[in-house]
Amino acid sequence: MNKNNEHPTLLHRFLHWEQCTPDSIYLTQPQPDGSVIDYTWHETASQARRMAAYLQSLDLPPKSSIGIFGKNTAHWIIADLAIWMAGHVSVPLYASANADTVRYVLEHADVHVLFVGRLDGDAAGWSIISAAVPVDLPLIDLPMSACGHGKAWADIVASMPLPAEVVCPAPDELATIIYTSGSTGNPKGVMLSFNAMYQAPALTGAIYAGGKGTCSSDRLLSYLPLAHTAERAVVEAISLFSGCRVFFNLGLETFSDDLRRARPTIFLSMPRLWGKFYQSINERIAPSVQQAAFADPQQAPLMKAQILSALGLDQVHTGLSGSAPLPVKVMAWYRQLGLELLEGYGMSENFGISHFSLPGQVRAGYVGAAVAGVHSRIGDDNEILVKSPAQMLGYYKQPELTAQSYTNDGLFRTGDRGEQDEQGRLRITGRVKELFKTAKGKYVAPVPIEARLGNHNRVEATCVTGVGLAQPVALVNVFPDTRALLDSAQGRDTVSTELEVFLQALNAQLEAHEQLACLVVVHEPWSIANGLLTPTLKIRRNLIEARYHDKIEAWSELGAKVLFE
């Protein structure tokens, strides 16, 4: 069906589906009033072609940078297609980006036109960000835009004739510049070719549907930021490659309804959400009741089906997880339900095409073996080195940094530390630069300890630190339901006792120099909004350490095992 050699880019694939399945629904967009709008491949192509004609009418230099600033919607993808059809380069910006980041990306990427969609805070969000947008930058308002000051998408599409032909790009041409969120400094602009984006779905078929691959009958729910590599690779790239349908999430308050509407067959999430699903079922059905039902051959199938259906995951044949380790008990629970979660490892610099677990070959704590076509090895300082068919063209405007990022034989220096088992499965053990030295002169790798802390059902995120201390300390961000318990003395005592027992068991598994002096439950939740989490919910280690720097030493010397800020 795919005839890959005839369709070497995702834009070629899109035009294939437009021609072969014009009346099939491609995109399903929920509206604020509860209704939904379906866009067929034909309608999607019609709008994309007309918007491309408008962009071409602006007489911009070839391969100009065009920004897409907004939450996931059908028109986010349609705008991306229009940019490619017009011969330009798409530059996504996170809807949650602050004014400094927006200003930097627009200037650094030389953005000539900006599509603006839904933003965090809607109109209020735009009013905060608008000062960072050059007054002379042409704006185009996507449907449901938070801006209202640009040209309306619908008006442009209605006024433009349908172009007779689309000139497709060559595979090695620049398709997009993805600015990595990072945890320090300004983001880097990762330049990806059309070939890199095409390789994501082309090389990863063994992951899906038990090795059968993706197909046009698959369904996807888009809710993680399309500005991030993972969502772009799994949702946009797979949908264009395989011709499958994409449903969108309107917001947090409609997530359950949007998930049940989509009944996805492929579902990508982060450990945080997989854990929330797990907790929500445990609150409704006691774990002891679940286990009793799972042990009964007659009750087990019904119980498992009911749980997956309640979550909206009853049609999922492939569940994917990334960005952080999955707690072992969460992974085991889903496996009991018949859903084997597959963890993977990748980065913007290789469009996520690096390592992935395969069905039936999952090992807890590991992210799988190298994807077909990927060459990987462990280098000095246990650094993971990777050469991927989807490797970036380089960092935009940073040729020296690009050169420094590769070994002499062409492998990319990931900055992550790891180790491989006998089957080549990779385990991430931390960052090369994240090791810290205690007062005893011993080095501590925080990430493996943080992964173990994440196995506790009250721990949402954690940061292990301790430069110059006798023993490391763990800062702990608890889940909202646990935070509510802290308002009462009895609830606080309960949480303290549970965490102290957990800490004792954890320390027994660690080397002497790694053992934690205490757990400190922080007062303010870490979030994207306060800058302590990245848009993909990874901790911003340097900012967290800076926030609590003046208190950490005193906490470590108090002698208490569990403290509350």
Q: Extract the tokens encoding 7.
A: 């369709």
pLDDT-based confidence at 4, cuts 50/70/90?
A: very low
For tokens 């735009």, name the residue. Answer: 126
Question: Do 4-22+37-194 and 436-564 fold alike per CATH?
Answer: no
Give residue 144's Cα distance to chain centre: 23
pLDDT-based confidence at 181, cuts 50/70/90?
A: low
Q: What is the CATH number of domain 4-22+37-194?
A: 3.40.50.980
pLDDT-based confidence at 151, cuts 50/70/90?
A: very high
Q: Extract the tokens encoding 401.
A: 């940094």
* Average pLDDT value for residue range 382-393: 96
Q: Considering the entire predicted model, what is its pTM?
A: 0.84
Q: Alpha-carbon distance 112 to 276, whole Å?
A: 41
DSSP 247: E
Closest by Cα among 62, 65, 27 to 46:
27
* Average pLDDT value for residue range 76-86: 98
pLDDT at position 470 is 86
356: helix, coil or strand? strand
Residue 332 has pLDDT above 70, yes or no: yes
449-459 per-position pLDDT tens digit: 998 999 899 99
Q: Are 210 and 317 in contact (CB under 8 A)?
A: yes
* Average pLDDT value for residue range 497-522: 92
178: helix, coil or strand? strand
pLDDT at position 182 is 52
Residue 173 has pLDDT above 80, yes or no: yes
459-500 per-position pLDDT tens digit: 999 999 988 888 999 999 999 999 999 999 999 999 999 999
Residue type, 63: K
pLDDT-based confidence at 448, cuts 50/70/90?
A: confident
**Comparison of pLDDT for 66 and 187, the residue scoring more:** 66
pLDDT at position 184 is 52
Class of domain 436-564: alpha beta
* Average pLDDT value for residue range 130-134: 95
Q: Are 463 and 539 in contact (CB under 8 A)?
A: yes
Give residue 364's Cα distance to chain centre: 20
pLDDT at position 447 is 87
pLDDT at position 303 is 95
Q: Are 109 and 68 in contact (CB under 8 A)?
A: no
DSSP 208: S
Q: Which of 314-328, 338-352, 387-401 has the lowest mean pLDDT?
A: 314-328
Most distant CA pair in the chain, distance? 75
**Per-domain residue ranges for the chain?**
4-22+37-194, 436-564
* Average pLDDT value for residue range 206-225: 96
Residue 1 has pLDDT above 50, yes or no: no
- Residue 178 has a CB neighbour count (10 Å cut-off) of 24
The chain-wide mean pLDDT, for the chain, equals 93
Q: Which of 174-183, 203-212, 241-250 has the lowest mean pLDDT?
A: 174-183
* Average pLDDT value for residue range 185-195: 92
Closest by Cα among 364, 363, 322, 328 to 343:
322
pLDDT-based confidence at 3, cuts 50/70/90?
A: very low
Q: Alpha-carbon distance 509 to 517, whole Å?
A: 14
Residue 514 has pLDDT above 70, yes or no: yes
412-420 and 383-387 as β-strands: parallel, antiparallel, unpaired?
A: antiparallel
Q: Alpha-carbon distance 301 to 293, whole Å?
A: 9
278-331 per-position pLDDT tens digit: 999 999 999 999 999 999 999 999 999 999 999 999 999 999 998 778 888 899
pLDDT-based confidence at 183, cuts 50/70/90?
A: very low
pLDDT-based confidence at 2, cuts 50/70/90?
A: very low
519-559 per-position pLDDT tens digit: 999 999 999 888 898 877 888 888 998 899 889 989 988 98
Residue 438 has pLDDT above 80, yes or no: yes
From the DSSP assignment, how many helices (H) and strands (E) are in the chain? 19, 27
**Comparison of pLDDT for 410 and 534, the residue scoring more:** 410
pLDDT at position 112 is 98
Q: Are 267 and 319 in contact (CB under 8 A)?
A: yes
Q: Which residues pair with 37 in a beta bridge?
A: 29
pLDDT-based confidence at 113, cuts 50/70/90?
A: very high
For tokens 């449901």, name the residue. Answer: 144
Q: Alpha-carbon distance 295 to 301, whole Å?
A: 10
Q: Extract the tokens encoding 514.
A: 């790694």
∠ CA 291-297-303, nearest 5°, is 55
Phi first, then psi, for residue 370 (nearest 5°) are: -60, 140
